[in-house]
Amino acid sequence: MTIIRQIADTTEKQVKSAQKVARRSWLAGLGVAGLAIDSGEKTFKKLIKRGEKVAAGVRGDLKDLNERLRREQKSLNEDVQDASQTVERGVSDVLEGLNIPSRKTLRVLDARIAQLNAQLRELGSDGSIAPVANYDSLTAEEIIVLMPTLSLDELFALEAYESNHAKRVTVQREIEQAIAKHLTVDGEIREPFAGYEALRAEEAIAKLEGLGIAELHHVKLFEASHAKRVTVQREVERRLEALRG
């Protein structure tokens, strides 16, 4: 065998060996890649399962947290309500200790005062009770000076008493003017009741039934400054006289 042939054979063997090594390397690379993929899929699946467990745990924790929050809110609301009641009772006790009436006491007193005022109006409407102390000893001028300090109910009682006793024209006129001031809104006597001004004379007269002295006076003053219907005014005067006895 010649040297050239030996070199050719050697070279061919080396080429085949190199090709074989290259192919094995390539296959080894594919194997590594495949293993990585297989491992990645397994790892990914493990991560998914782990994530599902974590998510389930989080949902459970969140549910527990929400439930706890609701309980805490309910407890807090109850505590606030109890504290408010305790404070109110404490304030009431302190006010009572200082002889200062509480809001509840004031409401009761207001209701009682309103009741007493109603009884006073009923008693004074017939003109039998003097609305001012020592009234009979006062002069007309002294009574007129007192009028701005009197309430509307007191003025009505004063009118009833004066009409049944001294019947002083100057006093009666001043009483009417003082009453008119109490019933005036924006410079005009307000309606005795809603819709009065739209009533016809016969309808207005029908509405007089059951009215007391104060209400009749209101109608009288309104008629005198508005429609001035003679039939209504006459009926009002008749009813006032009947109530005064």
Residues 221-244: pLDDT tens digits?
A: 999 999 999 999 999 999 988 887
**163 and 84 in a common domain:** no
Tokens of 75: 């407890």
CA distances, 104 to each of 75, 90, 96, 114, 188 (Å): 28, 14, 12, 16, 38
Mean pLDDT of the chain: 75
**72 and 33 in a common domain:** yes
- How many structural domains compose the chain? 2
In angstroms, the CA 174 to CA 157 distance is: 14
Find where tokens 């990585």 sit. 36
**240 and 142 in a common domain:** yes
In angstroms, the CA 232 to CA 230 distance is: 5
Range(s) of the domain holding residue 81: 1-100
**141 and 59 in a common domain:** no
pLDDT, tens digit, for every residue of 50-102? 666 655 565 566 566 667 667 766 776 676 666 566 656 655 565 566 666 66
Q: In the 8-state DSSP scheme, what is residue 178?
A: H
More confidently predicted of 121 and 72: 72
Angle at 158 between CA 164 and CA 135, to 5 degrees: 85
pLDDT at 126: 55
SS3 helix, strand, coil % of the chain, rounded to 5?
A: 80, 0, 20
pLDDT of 5 higher than 90: no
Tokens of 34: 């495949």
pLDDT, tens digit, for every residue of 137-196? 999 999 999 999 998 888 888 888 888 888 999 999 999 999 999 999 888 999 998 999
CA distances, 42 to each of 2, 47, 66, 99 (Å): 60, 9, 36, 84
**234 and 134 in a common domain:** yes
pTM: 0.45
pLDDT, tens digit, for every residue of 19-52? 665 666 556 555 655 555 555 566 556 655 666 6
Tokens of 135: 């009234």
The residue type of 171 is V
Tokens of 28: 């080894």
In angstroms, the CA 88 to CA 70 distance is: 27
In angstroms, the CA 179 to CA 212 distance is: 15
**192 and 139 in a common domain:** yes
105-119, 151-165, 168-182, 199-213: which range is least confident on average?
A: 105-119
